[in-house]
Amino acid sequence: MMSLLDKFFGNTKGSKDEAKARLKLLLVHDQVDLTPSQLDAMRAEIAAVVARYAEVDMDKVDIRLEKAHDQVRLTSSVPVRRVTGRTQAAAT
């Protein structure tokens, strides 16, 4: 019966969780006092530094700020295709 009701009215659990995650993100961004463009620039710079040492799948890089235990943490997932072991500056 519940699955039939979910089909008609939609399951709101997914949108509720998504709204909660967005609110947490906004609260963290307020605490670190960075604009969205500054956060985007920070993400790009971090990915660029990693890319100096490894071949990175830039489309799948995920860098975010999260609040945990009264601290703001930077967490990242940077898919590496292969490690190059050298910076481009050192190679020249």
Convert the pLDDT of each residue in 41-68 to its tens digit.
888 898 889 989 999 888 888 888 777 7
- Structural domain boundaries in the chain: 12-84
DSSP 86: S
* pLDDT score, position 58: 86
| H, E, C per residue of 14-43 | HHHHHHHHHHHHHHHHHHHCCCHHHHHHHH
**Mean pLDDT, the chain, as a whole number?**
75
